[in-house]
Amino acid sequence: MELALVTVVVHDYDEAIDFFTKVLGFVLTADSPATTTSGAPKRWVVVSPPGGGTGLLLARADGAHQTEVVGRQVADRVGFFLRVDDFDATLARLVAAGTTIVRPPRSEPYGRVAVFVDIAGNRWDLLGDHAPGD
């Protein structure tokens, strides 16, 4: 058994694809036409971390109710956790791209962590190994 996909509701497919692929370094693994249950056009867009793992289904908000949850899918809590091999390089890439860093890096028992906000406004923990000397 595996958790294959998690949906992230976004305002715009292409802006979300750019953020997840260019800023976070994910891979675009699917982008194909589809239709909603009511027959309206949509896209099936999936981005995944390089090397595999659970993918993100980027779903464009459809209607006022879905638009209201963009960026607040987990009630303004950290709801996504990205463990990276090179914490400092990833954090530098986020900062260089203008990504909002909500909480600066700190050390916790489970490693280094910083909180950032994705293109939709969702909070993420950026996780890495302890720095030398921690």
- The CATH code of the domain that includes 82 is 3.10.180.10
Average pLDDT over all residues of the chain: 94
Say if residue 32 is in the same domain as residue 56: yes
What does the pLDDT look like over 23-64, one tens digit per residue? 999 999 999 999 988 888 999 999 999 988 899 999 999 889
- Residues 79, 37 share a domain: no
Q: Residue 67's pLDDT is what?
A: 92
Q: Per the structure block, which two tokens stand in for 8?
A: 């992230």
Mean pLDDT of 66-75: 92
Task: Round to whole Å and give the CA distance between 61 and 95.
Answer: 27
Nearest C-alpha neighbor of 43 from the set 23, 28, 64, 27: 28
Token duo for residue 117: 């906000």
> Are 42 and 99 in a shared domain?
no
Query: What is the rounded CA–CA span in Å between residue 22 and residue 58?
Result: 15
